[in-house]
Structure 1
Amino acid sequence: MPDGRFARPWSGVDTDMHLNTAWRPTASPDSLPAYSRKYASYLRQTDFSHGLGSMATDNPSFFTPSYLRNSRYMSRLDAAHRAKLAALQRETASTSSNPPLSASSSHVHLPRMVPSHRGMAYEIIEKEPAATTDQTMPLPTQWSSSDKYPGLEISNNGLDVRYTGPVNKHDHEAAALRADHPMPPQCGIYYFEVKIESKPKEGMIGIGFSSTKASVERLPGWEQESWAYHGDDGKSFFGESQGQGRPYGPTFGVGDTVGCGVNFSTGSAFFTKNGVFLGNVFHELRNVKLFPSVGMKKQPPVHLRANFGQEPFVFDIDGLVRQEKASIHSEISATSTASLQPPLDESALLQELVAQFLAHDGYVETSRAFAEEVATETAALHNGRDEPLKKYEVEEDREAINRNKIRSAILDGDIDKALKHTKAYYANVLEDYPHIHFKLRCRKFLEMMRRSNELAAATAAVAASSSKRHRAATGHDISDEHAVFDQEMELDDASDGWDAADGMDTEEQEPETATQFNELLTEAVQYGQQLHMDYPSDENGGDKKMLDDIFSLVAYADPKRSVHGHYLDPAGRVAVAEELNSAILVSLGKSSAAALERLYQQTEVLVNEISEDGGAGAFINVRNDFLL
């Protein structure tokens, strides 16, 4: 090819592979199965060229206010957003007009794989997660175009609101509107700001929040279930006060930026003016969906601009949230763990958890080294005490050694070796868990495709270097002589196919490498054909959609850059290694999860439970705050 890239020497594959199904992207790498939770960060950091990309660029309406970065709430919201994008991507891919892969455009006829090779394979394909019940409330993003007084005009992506209508001199009549979503209690503290761009001298403006029960024809604070800070007199108003405000802060007008926040942990609100905190106001704000709201007396021209977190705030809300978070963390640190596992103190309990985790996952050597270090530490801390600290010892576990051999083989990409060990040590596991056997076989196919792709990339680099030397020697570009690539050439015509793929003369090639590439690719396709025959449906642990996805890799000149290229990433080995390890442990009558992992799971559940209504859990992100 003119650019020197390595191309595959056909445009179709054997009909027996049945790849006429539309190619659909799989679930987000952030949607990890239960067995790979502790490797979530490893998988999540993988950045695929076809992936979802930056949140800010994929969907302009999705943003992260600075004070919510690294929060539990934003982690959940981000995951939900990615899942939504993945669903849209799947829908788009399924309705696209991709040409089917069939033998009609190819002369490829590959022999069947001999039975002795069947069953020696794997894969780490993560299934799409089941529909989640996590209904994380979205952030307010703009003023609502429907929940507003009809005479108000919204512009600037829903952030600016104007009143330019007729003057109405009745003080009790006004124009108000609310944001598109209520403030989410799960974020702990919610905050937004409004800048007064223009208003007449006698204009009245109220900034605060309200439920949908409050009328949009009166200022917030003058209606039931509405609360606000008014600029003309600096008073705070709430519905039950019957229009009688209470002194609160200074007045505000044109050029001022007023902030409004709700601390759901304490059930109170606060306001700011031009970056200055004005104090807490209103209390018992619970069990009501509160929408950011503004209102203005109908005296034009009035122009207000909101900031829901798309831009930096005038007030240091980040600092306020850090203080609240630090207070919660201080309480956690002060809590004693002595009653959790008597007579172990906190240090000894942590040592037990770590050691058991290492042994559970098969890291016997690491567990032994850890035990020796603990013993050395306890001896150093004895310091003449009557009773020395407990000497920690680890009992060598033969099963753990065997499981570690299997895990290491999978993580190295040697699936045949992993299967051999599994059948030797735990003969019934693959029979009892056919879906794991299927994943291992798929992983083998992917490893074969990986090796083929890596060889193609290396060869392309060599070809490019050779072409450069040729141009330097002859003074012209030989790629012009090979601009046309024959899509119909035979697979076994290795020499001609290599020339067409690279756009290089035979004299410039490495015949041995070309032959090796074709052998690897032929072997992968043969294995894929056999895999498709063994799993024609979703029965016996199979997943037909998954097979369609991974088989589509054969059709691409550069599989890694294809819509399913992420399957080739070595990180995919981790999840299947974890699932097989868990299955082996269950077969031995042991827990499929280490005590440390169960503790983490339980903590996540509890924190989630106490964060739903904006409690202290909203300020805790177990993963980011304590594990990373």
Structure 2
Amino acid sequence: MEASGIETGASTIRTGLPSFSRAFNMLVASEAAAGADNSFKNEEDDFFIPSYLENSTYVQKLQEAHKAKVQARDTTRNSTNGFSHGFSHGSTTSFNQHPLPPGSHRGMSHTVIERPPASEVDDDLAPLPARWNKEDQMPGIEVQSNGLDVKHIGPKNQNDRDHEACGIRADHYMPPQCGIYYFEVHILSTKRDDATISIGFSTKIAGLSRPVGWEPESWGYHGDDGRCFTGQNIGRHFGPSYNANDVVGCGVNFKENHAFFTKNGVKIGTAFHDVARGKLYPTISLKKPGDYIRANFGQTPFVYNIDDQMREERDRVHKAIQATDGSTLLAGLSETDLIQNLVLQFLQHDGYVETARAFAEDMVQQKNALNFDSNTEYTCVGLRDDEDANNRQRIRRAILEGDVDRALKYTNAYYPQVLQENEHVYFRLRCRKFIELVRKAAQLNMRNEPNGNKHANNQTMDVDLNGSENTSWETDGSDNATELAELEHSMLEYGQKLQEEYANDPRVEVSRALNEIWALVAYQNPLKEPQVSHLLDRNGRVTVAEELNSAILLSLGKSSRAALETIYAQSSVLLDDLRQDGGEGAFASVSDVLDGIPQPYQN
């Protein structure tokens, strides 16, 4: 069984960012990054993902929100510390030593966040339970420093002696959006053959002075007699009793609306049906001094194989989805024809003219190959030579090749009103040009390093499918040094001009973007710095190209989004709605479909 708790990461602030481009690319890239690092940790934060929730869309959102908060805090820390680390080692690299133009500054150091800051992250995301809540307990028990161990230490006064038990709830409720939530309790110590310990869950309304399950809006499984209770002290026989060294698990299936328990890795069965909707907190109660338990909310592997149970639920939902008849989605088109038309429209919409034409021809060849009627022959669908599509393709290619000036030239020539009417897109293009200047300078800088070589790492030497870096590496050291000095001077002058042009802009997003990109010059080589290297990733080009393409389409009276993107967006929203109460949407996501697509073989 794989480890359930995954504690990742580094002790520094250098946490990875998912790449950020168009809808599909963002999804695939971010999940690939998440797969490589399922949790992370720094000096102030612990974040874990229980193994059975690794594929949960809800938990992936929690992870992104947590990253945003960590990065926002690190941004504040960097702002306080300034750029001291960028100059502290007597670097001989001109990237840091180049004099700044008069009146300029090296800006503020900001961790690159191409997403809303922590304050703007969805506040409806409830964290997973992670520890016992010292503020929600009865006197007489003590929570240990790890937040997971609870020990009954006995009453301190007469009032405490009147309590029938001492209960405590977890710090957060079990999010229904997970579909299934599960935790375990290890009985470390109790009176032999008389375990007066109760394990279950409750709402905030339930009292904690009696065993869990006896109070209204509480559900519990008791160790002394193996009975289960729900809202009253008259229970029913359920399973075996449990004692010291036993591990008891409690799970809630929000889709089926029932709760189950396990003992020592074996599922006992369903204890409660028709569990009330609401905020349900993991809860335990101890009755006698010496009772001692340890909770596991997913930080470490579970004894019970909850991963398989979750996988079975997901498989059931996926089979139901696959069984859906798609032949009636659009009259006159089979499911295959519909999908092919969606792909073709997507290619045309995004300006992939040659690819769209080749795809259309391939569609015709396939149909003719499967056509047994000699009197019928399919011909290529009429892909008219759309000049706007050709123009958009030229603009897109220029951006993807890192040539922002050429993209601006084409845009002003073909669609002069677009940049005037979409100032935010123009600003993004200007920022991207500065990034490309920094990127090229950093690559030349790496070339000049003693151990530099022509085949630097993938981050440095990546080449777009639609173009190249337009960087010639076949030069001697003196030529490189001269070119680097000139490039850095141009870069700093352009950055200063950009800062001055938007210095009085009141928009927060503008100042944030300027601080982020200007922070690049603080580092000896930003391509090697995890804090900022993601800003130099070529996926950023795709983001800008898509924004400009959408603005052009809107100016032409067309939709800014392809039909395939609309379907994707609508499906995601519908699944979000379906998972709110733990329904089928908690066990499915659009990414599941994408993950099931066979990947092309790569040597």
Shorter-chain TM band: 0.7 to 0.9
- What is aligned with 1:399? 388
- What is aligned with 1:277? 267
- What is aligned with 2:545? 577
Q: Distance in 2 between matches of 1:349 and 1:107?
A: 57
Q: Which of structures 1 and 2 has the larger relative contact order (alpha carbons within 8 angstroms, sep 6+)?
A: 1
- What is aligned with 1:74? 59
Q: Distance in 1 between matches of 2:69 and 2:100?
A: 41
Q: 2:68–2:113: 8 Å Cα contact kept in structure 1? A: no
3-state SS of 1:453 partner = helix
Q: Distance in 2 between matches of 1:125 and 1:308?
A: 30
Q: Distance in 2 between matches of 1:204 and 1:75?
A: 38
Bigger mean CA offset, 600-609 vs 563-572: 563-572
Q: 2:18–2:33: 8 Å Cα contact kept in structure 1? A: no
Q: 1:26–1:127: 8 Å Cα contact kept in structure 2? A: no
Q: 2:199–2:285: 8 Å Cα contact kept in structure 1? A: yes
Bigger mean CA offset, 407-416 vs 534-543: 534-543
Task: Tell me the TM-score normalized by structure 2.
Answer: 0.81
Q: 1:55-94: per-residue Cα shift (whole Å, max 9, x none)?
A: 2446653110011012111111111111111221122223
3-state SS of 1:301 partner = coil
Bigger-Rg structure (1/2):
1
Q: 1:391-430: per-residue Cα shift (whole Å, max 9, x none)?
A: 7554443222221111111111111221122122212111
Matches within 5 A, 1:250-289: 250-289=240-279
- What is aligned with 2:226? 234
Q: Distance in 2 between matches of 1:213 and 1:109?
A: 63
Q: Distance in 2 between matches of 1:542 and 1:609?
A: 29
Q: 1:125–1:572: 8 Å Cα contact kept in structure 2? A: no
- What is aligned with 2:205? 213
TM superposition shift of 1:222: 0.8
Mark the CA change 1:166 to 1:526 in structure 2 (over 3 Å): closer, same or farther.
Answer: closer
Q: Distance in 1 between matches of 2:405 and 2:254?
A: 55
**Residue 185 of structure 2 corresponds to residue 194 of structure 1:** yes
- What is aligned with 2:318? 329
TM superposition shift of 1:567: 2.5
| AA matched with 2:203 | S
Q: Distance in 2 between matches of 1:251 and 1:131?
A: 48
Q: 1:262-319: per-residue Cα shift (whole Å, max 9, x none)?
A: 0011111011111111121212223221111111222x32111111111111111111
Q: 1:163-188: per-residue Cα shift (whole Å, max 9, x none)?
A: 13269999971121111111110100
Mark the CA change 1:26 to 1:413 in structure 2 (over 3 Å): closer, same or farther.
Answer: farther
Q: 1:187-211: per-residue Cα shift (whole Å, max 9, x none)?
A: 0000011111211132312111111
Q: 1:364-385: per-residue Cα shift (whole Å, max 9, x none)?
A: 2211222222222222333459
3-state SS of 1:610 partner = helix
- What is aligned with 1:372? 361
**Residue 326 of structure 2 corresponds to residue 342 of structure 1:** no
Matches within 5 A, 1:167-182: 173-182=164-173
Mark the CA change 1:106 to 1:205 in structure 2 (over 3 Å): closer, same or farther.
Answer: closer
Bigger mean CA offset, 260-269 vs 510-519: 510-519
**Residue 70 of structure 2 corresponds to residue 85 of structure 1:** yes
**Residue 571 of structure 2 corresponds to residue 603 of structure 1:** yes
Bigger mean CA offset, 452-461 vs 223-232: 452-461
Bigger mean CA offset, 597-606 vs 37-46: 37-46
Matches within 5 A, 1:43-192: 44=30, 55-57=40-42, 60-96=45-81, 98=83, 108=99, 126=114, 128=116, 131-155=120-144, 157-165=146-154, 173-192=164-183
- What is aligned with 1:514? 481
3-state SS of 1:461 partner = coil
| AA matched with 2:276 | R
3-state SS of 2:412 partner = helix
TM superposition shift of 1:553: 2.9
Pick the aligned partner of 2:294 from 305, 321, 324.
305
3-state SS of 2:449 partner = helix
Q: 1:320-339: per-residue Cα shift (whole Å, max 9, x none)?
A: 11111111111111112233
Q: Distance in 2 between matches of 1:39 and 1:181?
A: 33
Mark the CA change 1:559 to 1:140 in structure 2 (over 3 Å): closer, same or farther.
Answer: same
Q: What are the ranges of 5 or more consecutive residues in structure 2 without an aligned counterpart?
A: 1-12, 87-95, 104-111, 455-475, 597-603
TM superposition shift of 1:349: 1.1
3-state SS of 1:183 partner = coil
Pick the aligned partner of 2:405 from 408, 416, 424.
416
Q: Distance in 1 between matches of 2:175 and 2:381?
A: 47
Q: 1:27–1:128: 8 Å Cα contact kept in structure 2? A: no
TM superposition shift of 1:359: 0.9
Q: Distance in 2 between matches of 1:394 and 1:156?
A: 68
Q: Distance in 1 between matches of 2:262 and 2:545?
A: 53
Mark the CA change 1:417 to 1:215 in structure 2 (over 3 Å): closer, same or farther.
Answer: same
**Residue 349 of structure 2 corresponds to residue 355 of structure 1:** no
Q: Distance in 1 between matches of 2:246 and 2:375?
A: 69
The alignment covers a number of residue pairs equal to 540
Q: Distance in 1 between matches of 2:26 and 2:208?
A: 46
Matches within 5 A, 1:16-55: 29-30=17-18, 32=20, 36-41=22-27, 44=30, 55=40
Q: 2:28–2:591: 8 Å Cα contact kept in structure 1? A: no
Pick the aligned partner of 1:243 from 212, 230, 233.
233
TM superposition shift of 1:617: 0.7
3-state SS of 2:311 partner = helix
Mark the CA change 1:569 to 1:464 in structure 2 (over 3 Å): closer, same or farther.
Answer: closer
- What is aligned with 1:222? 214
TM superposition shift of 1:44: 3.5
TM superposition shift of 1:534: 2.9
| AA matched with 1:39 | N
Q: Distance in 2 between matches of 1:521 and 1:143?
A: 54
Q: Distance in 2 between matches of 1:447 and 1:145?
A: 52
Bigger mean CA offset, 216-225 vs 550-559: 550-559
| AA matched with 1:281 | A
**Residue 586 of structure 2 corresponds to residue 621 of structure 1:** no
- What is aligned with 2:525? 558
Mark the CA change 1:392 to 1:258 in structure 2 (over 3 Å): closer, same or farther.
Answer: farther
- What is aligned with 1:532? 499
Mark the CA change 1:99 to 1:553 in structure 2 (over 3 Å): closer, same or farther.
Answer: same
Q: Distance in 1 between matches of 2:405 and 2:113?
A: 17
Q: Distance in 2 between matches of 1:601 and 1:264?
A: 25
| AA matched with 2:126 | M
Q: Distance in 1 between matches of 2:545 and 2:493?
A: 25
Q: What are the ranges of 5 or more consecutive residues in structure 1 without an aligned counterpart?
A: 1-24, 113-123, 466-508
Q: 1:490-530: per-residue Cα shift (whole Å, max 9, x none)?
A: xxxxxxxxxxxxxxxxxxx9433322221111122222233
| AA matched with 1:237 | F
- What is aligned with 1:292? 282
Q: Distance in 2 between matches of 1:590 and 1:26?
A: 41
Q: Distance in 1 between matches of 2:184 and 2:98?
A: 66
Mark the CA change 1:108 to 1:96 in structure 2 (over 3 Å): closer, same or farther.
Answer: closer
Q: Distance in 2 between matches of 1:276 and 1:432?
A: 64
TM superposition shift of 1:156: 5.3
